[in-house]
């Protein structure tokens, strides 16, 4: 064995490969065993010990390189620190480096001394090197990514909650009005979306056709503006509002045409601004028909006008027979009396709506064979004045009874001329009548001169006019 190899063996345990053992080995095994013997490996060595002994030269070389690199970094850091403390110097400060003997083992006590111009040898004020800056930037990026991930997680949770809430509201019914509500509105409504300019113009023009904000009665002088409303409707074609606006227009057009048709059946318009003109007279041989426009309040007014016209037709036929009967009776008692003159016991008057009143009787109109509920009368009965049949106080002022009948039809107290009218009393020179339904039900008491009437409705206990 050479001296070099012997130097690697323990002084007290020189080993050699036994010849007899070598005979039993292959060439590779023998070489490997000889290498372990030269490295000083024993049977008690661990795997780490075996590796260190076989690669001792390489490990020593790595230690030296590591030590050299660290020394260079320290020298550069010291030079930069000196430059910061002496910025007025233009030349770079040269820092001597003590040569390192490669035969020396690495230890902390053998590190070269680094010159410094400060009393404090700490490195806290050294500028950050690129590796530190890179680590700091990476740390900032990690924090930013973490914040973004947290924000995305919160958004995801919020979206999930909103989706679940929407699904539940759709399943069980969302009550936004008590919102969408609607929220929407929606509301939703919801909402409450602003009208488009064309729709707003249409609705404003539509409102001018009515006498009030509730849009329950039409103004007759606005009928000529229907074509302008149709033009406003045309501007909504192709929009979502068109169908609802067209439905309103169609109903209004039907209502106007129905009112014009009814008015044409009288000598002058009978339905004016939603009210019945009781001075209008129905034309001969008119056939009335019930009309439905879709606007309930206007339909009621048209129905009242039609009933008013029918009542005139019915009373005209009754009035045509009464004068002949009266004339016959008059011929028997006073043959020389004119046909138009009433007997002493009878005085008939035909109203503008065709109703014929007989002031000579207690019941001036309707059946006198019905049991009337006189005990409910608001005005006390006075049989003495009732017997004074020819008192002018009994005569109705022009148009008064016609208007009361029309109002009663409109309010549904009775239809047409299905009522009974009876004398009650004369107070302060004014005759008072009671109006009943044909079944004897008391409706109200009437002042024949002023047209004031009052019944037993709630709130009218002190509403008498005398």
Give the model's pLDDT for residue 158. 78
pLDDT tens-digit map of 383-409: 999 999 889 999 999 889 999 999 999
Does 416 lie in the same domain as 366?
Answer: yes
Whether residue 202 is found in the same domain as residue 184:
no
In a domain, 140, yes or no: yes
How many helices (H) and strands (E) in the chain?
12, 9
SS3 425: strand
Which of 67-81, 259-273, 323-337: highest mean pLDDT?
259-273
- Going by pLDDT thresholds of 50, 70 and 90, the confidence category of residue 195 is confident
Identify the pLDDT of residue 287.
86
Residue 150 belongs to a domain: yes
Is 255 part of any domain?
yes
Please name the residue that has the structure tokens 């008391």: 442
Q: What is the pLDDT at residue 9?
A: 46
Show the domain range for 145.
Answer: 128-189
Q: 450 and 335 in one domain? A: yes
The residue from 144, 163, 189 where one domain ends is: 189
Instruction: Out of 60-69, 182-191, 215-224, give the one with best mean pLDDT.
Output: 215-224
* pLDDT of res. 65: 64
Number of domains observed in the structure of the chain: 4
* Last residue of one domain, picked from the residues 137, 160, 189: 189
Q: Using an 8 Å Cβ cutoff, are 75 and 95 in contact? A: yes
Share of the chain above pLDDT 70, in %: 64
201 located within any domain: yes
Tens digit of pLDDT for each residue in 329-381?
333 333 332 233 333 346 888 887 788 999 999 999 999 899 999 999 999 99
Q: Is residue 325 part of a domain?
A: no
337 and 430, same domain (yes or no): yes
Let me know whether 68 and 184 are in one domain. Answer: no
Same domain, 103 and 212: no
Residue 318 forms part of a structural domain: no
Helix, strand, coil in percent for the chain, rounding step 5: 45, 10, 45
Q: Residue 258 has what pLDDT?
A: 92
Instruction: Give domain status of residue 465, yes or no.
Output: no
Is the domain of 210 the same as that of 183?
no
CA quadruple 85, 87, 89, 95: dihedral positive or negative?
positive
Q: pLDDT tens for residues 119-172?
A: 444 444 445 556 666 677 777 878 888 888 888 888 878 777 776 665 555 544
> Residue 78: inside a domain, yes or no?
yes
Are residues 376 and 270 both part of a single domain?
no
Length of the chain: 466
Using CA atoms, how far apart are residues 437 and 441, in angstroms rounded to an integer? Answer: 5
Asked if residue 448 and residue 374 are part of one domain, the reply reads yes
User: Mean pLDDT throughout 111-117?
Assistant: 48
Q: Do both 336 and 441 map to the same domain?
A: yes
Same domain, 287 and 234: yes
């Amino acid at each position: 064995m050479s001296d070099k190899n012997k130097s690697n063996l323990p002084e007290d345990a020189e080993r050699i490969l036994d010849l007899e053992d070598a005979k039993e080995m292959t060439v590779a095994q023998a070489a490997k065993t000889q290498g372990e013997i030269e490295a000083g490996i024993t049977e008690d060595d661990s795997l780490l010990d075996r590796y260190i002994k076989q690669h001792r030269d390489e490990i020593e070389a790595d230690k030296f390189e590591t030590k050299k690199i660290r020394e260079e970094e320290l020298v550069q850091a010291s030079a930069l620190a000196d430059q910061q403390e002496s910025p007025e110097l233009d030349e770079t400060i040269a820092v001597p480096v003590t040569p390192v003997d490669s035969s020396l083992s690495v230890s902390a006590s053998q590190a070269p001394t680094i010159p410094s111009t400060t009393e404090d040898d700490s490195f806290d004020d050294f500028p950050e090197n690129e590796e530190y800056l890179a680590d700091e930037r990476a740390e900032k990026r990690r924090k930013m990514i973490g914040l973004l991930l947290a924000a995305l997680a919160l958004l995801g949770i919020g979206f999930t909650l909103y989706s679940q809430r929407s699904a539940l509201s759709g399943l069980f019914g969302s009550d936004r009005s008590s919102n969408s509500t609607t929220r929407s509105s929606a509301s939703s409504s919801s909402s409450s979306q602003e009208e488009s300019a064309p729709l707003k113009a249409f609705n404003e023009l539509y409102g001018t056709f009515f006498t009030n904000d509730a849009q329950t009665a039409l103004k007759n002088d606005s009928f000529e503006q229907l074509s302008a409303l149709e033009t406003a409707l045309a501007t909504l074609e192709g929009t979502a509002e068109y169908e609802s606006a067209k439905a309103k227009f169609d109903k209004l057009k039907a209502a106007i045409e129905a009112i014009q048709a009814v008015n044409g059946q009288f000598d002058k318009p009978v339905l004016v601004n939603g009210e019945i003109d009781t001075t209008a007279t129905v034309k001969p041989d008119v056939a009335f028909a019930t009309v439905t426009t879709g606007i309930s309040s206007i339909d009621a007014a048209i129905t009242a006008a039609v009933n008013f016209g029918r009542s005139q037709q019915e009373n005209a036929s009754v009035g045509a027979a009464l004068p002949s009967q009266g004339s016959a009776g008059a011929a028997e008692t006073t043959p020389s009396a004119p046909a138009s003159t009433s007997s002493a016991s009878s005085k008939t008057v035909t109203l503008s709506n065709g109703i014929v009143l007989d002031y000579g009787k207690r019941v001036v109109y309707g059946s006198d064979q019905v049991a009337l509920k006189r005990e409910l009368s608001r005005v006390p009965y006075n049989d003495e004045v009732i017997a004074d049949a020819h008192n002018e106080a009994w005569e109705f002022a022009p148009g008064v009874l016609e208007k009361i009948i029309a109002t009663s039809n409109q309010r549904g107290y009775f239809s047409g001329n299905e009522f009974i009218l009876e004398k009650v009393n004369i107070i302060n020179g004014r005759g008072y009548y009671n109006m009943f339904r044909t079944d004897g039900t008391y409706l109200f008491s009437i002042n024949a001169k002023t047209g004031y009437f009052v019944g037993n409705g709630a709130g009218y206990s002190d509403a008498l006019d005398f």
